[in-house]
Structures are given as C-alpha cells and as structure tokens.
Amino acid sequence: MLPDAGYIRYCCTLCALILSVWACQSGSSDTSKGESTFPYRFDAPDTTIVLPPSLREISGLSLSSDGHHLLAVNDEEGIVFFINLENGAIDSTLEFARHGDYEGIEAVGEYIYVVKSNGKLYRISPDGKTETIETSLHGGNNVEGLCYDALHGRLLLACKGEAGEGARFKGKKAVYAYDLHNDQFLESPVYLLNRDTIAAQKRLPGGLVQR
C-alpha cells in the first residue's frame, strides 16, 4: 500500500531535491536570511515503485485532483502518465503536445498544468483539450519546477537559469507566479533565493513544492 494522498502531495521521494519555499510563511520575498528544515529522508523512502523505461527520467510529478493517481511527465514527451496509487502501473496516458523539454506538472481542480523549460504553460481540460499559455519567461530562465500555491491561487514557476535582468537579480534564483484568478503572469518574481544558499545544499533542486 502506498502512502496516503496527503503525504504524497507534499513529499515526492522520486525527486532529487524538493525546493522548499519557506518565505510563504514569513511573507518575505528574499530568503537570504531564512533557514529551512526538511522533514523527509530521500535515503530511506517509505515506498519504492519500479517504473517502466518511458518514465526513467520523470521531470514532474503531482497528485491527481481525485486522489487516485500520480500524474507524471518526462523530459521529452508531451504526454501525461496516470500512475496507479495501489500498484504503480500506468493506467492511462494523455498526449497534450509535441516533444519538448517539459519540467513540471500540477493538478488544480479539474485542470492539469504542465510547464516547459522556456516558461510556456499548458492547461489541459477534462476533455483532453489543451490551451497554451505564453509567459514572458524564455529558455535562458530555464524553468525547472512547478507547484500550486493554494493560499494565493497561483502557480509557482522556479527558474534554474537566469533570474531576470538587472543588478537586483545578480547571484539570485527566481520563482515567478501565474495568477489563476486573473489568468495573468506576474512580471516580477514572488521569491528570490541566494545562489550560495542553494549551492550549499547536498543535492541540487529537481522540483518545487509548497509546504
């Protein structure tokens, strides 16, 4: 039996490291002085699932809104994989776009969102139709993670590459947001993290989650 849905939503043992956005609690947009505690151990998972070769390199993982499946996307294929929570089998797949560098997936209500490394978002409706959402991010920003900020009704996009243009972005990593209430991308980052703080971690970030 796999862990319950609440545990999976906030802890993905398949990621190399989950980047915790601790400033959500403090209201600060600069985490240069913050410290984060991480309660999960990646070297001692509660459950191990052997996945097929098509999911050898998962770049995004989320819990489905009904709590019955894990949603996964890999680095190259524009396909959502629905993984059975009971046995780890792929129950179904959904093709939403052509091949590309997909880096994150998140279920919000009846919709599924996927982000590409260039910042482009894909909104997949229950009938399988896909809407493409353009943002002002680009390949140089190299988006690496996506998560849902339920408190503010927005998607968070974590950038592995350039944080932005200007002196204030020097030595920083940025997290941008897409407001789901207004269907609007916020041009200024909602969080800025010091590169030195991230570099001090024993594992490099491979995803994003809010807790």
* pLDDT digits 0-9 by tens, 186-202: 999 999 988 777 666 65
CB-CB contact of 24 with 17 (8 Å): no
Domains in the chain, CATH or no CATH each: 5-209 (2.120.10)
Give the total residue count for the chain. 211
Largest Cα separation within the chain, whole Å, is 50
Confidence band, pLDDT 50/70/90 cuts, at residue 51? confident
Strand partners, 95: 79
Of 2-6, 35-39, 53-57, 186-190, the least confident: 2-6
**What pLDDT score does 98 carry?**
93
Which residue blocks in 3-82 are alpha helix, DSSP H?
5-10, 23-26
Burial of 48: CB neighbours in 10 Å, binned 0-12, 13-18, 19+:
exposed
Place of tokens 């209500």: 109
Confidence band, pLDDT 50/70/90 cuts, at residue 175? very high
